[in-house]
Chain A
Amino acid sequence: QSVLTQPPSASGTPGQRVTISCSGSSSNIGSNYVYWYQQLPVTAPKLLIYTNDQRPSGVPDRFSGSKSGTSASLAISGLRSEDEASYYCAAWDDSLSGWVFGGGTKLTVL
């Protein structure tokens, strides 16, 4: 059981916009930044969004993050086949004094 809650799956067709939610609590998302990671099949995760809504260099602006209260969202616009991957949210948890992850959302591009 993950501390952060994500839907296990999501899907969309090429060109569509999809959003992935991440729900937490006051000790993690409610009081700290949210980070998003993309994991393509059989590869290490890659940082996609940091500090709620910032994109590292090289990440397309099709990817965007937002946070409100104890929840966060990752939006992917102009969906492409290469976006098919698992997406994880993460945050520091003050109660646990450590990083917590969501269970991951597997995105399928139909």
Chain B
Amino acid sequence: QVQLQESGPGLVKPWGTLSLTCAVSGGPISSNHWWSWVRQSPGKGLEWIGEIYHSGSTNYNPSLKSRVTISVDKSKNQFSLKLTSVTAADTAIYYCVRIVVLPAEVLSGMDVWGQGTTVTVSS
């Protein structure tokens, strides 16, 4: 049973860099999966940030692409998110998520979610 756990600072200063890590347990990160970040601003809906495959291939939300970097560390079985130049609009719960690649390259959807970590941008 794969589990995901987010970690990182809960408070980031404006114009600083938000850095989060997602530890993957119960299975290797080098499986046929995409590893993704999704966020939810207070009282709002879900927003996809980006994703990474264990090979290093990435896809990013075009609205955040200039500020986002997602990386993977196979030796530690974890992946990370960096978001630069943050503002109050980046205050949100950040979730790390697994997406399984099924046969015929069909995607399973976001089938495993971390519990989420709250990040507040404030001075």
Interface, chain A (partner B; CB < 8 A): 2, 33, 35, 37, 44-47, 49-51, 56, 88, 90, 92, 96-104
Cβ contact within 8 Å between B115 and A50:
no
Interface centre among B36, B62, B109 (most CB of A within 10 A): B109
Distance of A92 Cα from B60 Cα, bound (Å): 12
Distance of A98 Cα from B70 Cα, bound (Å): 14
B61 contact set on A, CB distance < 8 A: 96, 98
Cβ contact within 8 Å between A46 and B45:
no
Distance of A99 Cα from B109 Cα, bound (Å): 10
Distance of A2 Cα from B50 Cα, bound (Å): 16
Interface centre among A47, A97, A98 (most CB of B within 10 A): A98
Cβ contact within 8 Å between A50 and B108:
yes
Cβ contact within 8 Å between B111 and A99:
no
A92 contact set on B, CB distance < 8 A: 107
Q: Which residue of A lies closest to B95 (CB)?
A: A44
Cβ contact within 8 Å between B95 and A50:
no
Cβ contact within 8 Å between A45 and B110:
yes
Distance of A63 Cα from B45 Cα, bound (Å): 21
B108 contact set on A, CB distance < 8 A: 47, 50
Known: A33-B107, A44-B95, A50-B108. A98 touches B48 (CB 8 A): yes
Q: How far is the CB of B45 from chain A (nearest CB, A)?
A: 4
A100 touches which one: B48, B51, B60, B106 (CB < 8 A)?
A: B48
**B 44-85 binary contact with A (CB < 8 Å = 1; else 0):** 011110110000000111100000000000000000000000
A47 contact set on B, CB distance < 8 A: 108-111
